[in-house]
Amino acid sequence: MNARLHTLLALVACTGPALALTPDGKRKLVIIAGQPSHPPLMHEFRAGSRLLQKALSAVPGLEVVLGEQGWVADEAVFKDADGVVIYADGGGGHPAVQGNHAATLAAFAERGGGLGFMHYGVEVEANKGGAEFLHWIGGYYENAFSCNPIWEPSFQSFPNHPIAEGVEPFQIKDEWYFNMRFVPGFSAAAPAEVKGMKFTPLLVAKPSSAVRAGPYVYPAGPYPHIVAAQDRPEAMMWCVERPDRGRGFGFTGGHFHLNWGNSNFRRIVLNALVWVTGAPVPKGGVASRVEEADLQRNLDPKGPRK
């Protein structure tokens, strides 16, 4: 190896994300789907995760492995993984904080592994996962500080970032959380860097006065500090690049399963799933096609909520 090439490879190793390539040279993403909850077509974590896995099957150099029912069958799957994304219920029962899971994910992040959390999965308790989420993805949903109304924001502009590749303006109704508990210095207003962590807001909109006044899904609100922040933009999706060279993102949508049928809603998440592993996002974003039949597959057996 000549000296110039050796120097270039060393520079890439120091500046790029730390990757644990699989034996066949692919990046590996582990998606963990939570246990069944909510009425039909809501919180369909398994069906949504399987749909996303299928959509990613055409991305070259990427292997996607699913863990279901809230965790993986064998934690050895993390050994050569590059990204772990959890799409599940959160709060005190969050899969990331059960048993030894927080320590497992902390060790994964310490070696530069990418982490992502989706919908209710961005919520943990302040004293049980809050500090870890601030470190891993730059923010989290904090009960009674953040809020969770069902509303229809319009996303009209996007940053120059790989996760936004090929995403066009869209508007869609979901349980979009906002007023996250971010690392001090981060906000929806603009990208920022704090102590080596680079933050980029990805899906940003301004809730109306009526949305801020509630009702929220739970507790119903209104919360005075949410109402008082009129005209402030809010981030419903964001990403970070950590000082340990790992990546992270939070996505607050994903309550309604049928929203995966929207191409832009789907594309920005698929791009994030690729990006969090350190793999390159395809030009134009991850292309995928979803039919109505796809949205009806793998649904959890659920009855009406009692």
Tally the domains of the chain. Answer: 1
Q: What is the pLDDT of residue 20?
A: 66
Is 240 within 8 Å of 249 (Cβ atoms)? yes
262 assigned to some structural domain:
yes
10 assigned to some structural domain:
no
17 assigned to some structural domain:
no
3-class SS letters over the chain: CCHHHHHHHHHHHHHCCCCCCCCCCCEEEEEEECCCCCCCCECCHHHHHHHHHHHHHHCCCEEEEEECCCCCCCHHHHCCCCEEEEECCCHHHCHHHCCCHHHHHHHHHHCCCEEEEEHHHHECECCEEHHHHHHHHCEEECCCCCECCEECCEECCCCCCHHHCCCCCEECCEECCECCEECCCCECCECEEECCEEEEEEEEECCCHHHHCCCCCCCCCCCHHHHHCCCCCEEEEEEEECCCCCEEEEECCCCEHHHHHCHHHHHHHHHHHHHCCCCCCCCCCCCCCCCHHHHCCCCCCCCCCC
Measured distance CA(306)–CA(304) in Å, rounded: 6
Q: Which domain holds residue 48?
A: 22-295
269 assigned to some structural domain:
yes
CA distances 177 to 13, 25, 212, Å, are: 36, 37, 11
303 assigned to some structural domain:
no
Q: What is the pLDDT of residue 12?
A: 34
Q: What is the CATH number for 47?
A: 3.40.50.880
- Residue-wise pLDDT for 218-244, tens only, equals 999 999 999 999 999 999 999 999 999
Sign of CA dihedral 199, 43, 93, 274: negative
Q: What is the pLDDT of residue 24?
A: 74
304 assigned to some structural domain:
no
Measured distance CA(222)–CA(153) in Å, rounded: 18
Each residue's pLDDT expressed in tens, for the chain with a length of 306 residues = 333 333 333 333 334 455 666 777 889 999 999 999 999 999 999 999 999 999 999 999 999 999 999 999 999 999 999 999 999 999 999 999 999 999 999 999 999 999 999 999 999 999 999 999 999 999 999 999 999 999 999 999 999 999 999 999 999 999 999 999 999 999 999 999 999 999 999 999 999 999 999 999 999 999 999 999 999 999 999 999 999 999 999 999 999 999 999 999 999 999 999 999 999 999 999 999 999 999 999 999 986 644
Measured distance CA(156)–CA(158) in Å, rounded: 7
279 assigned to some structural domain:
yes
Measured distance CA(173)–CA(236) in Å, rounded: 12
Q: What is the pLDDT of residue 297?
A: 97
302 assigned to some structural domain:
no
State residue 144 phi and psi, 5-degree precision: 70, -10
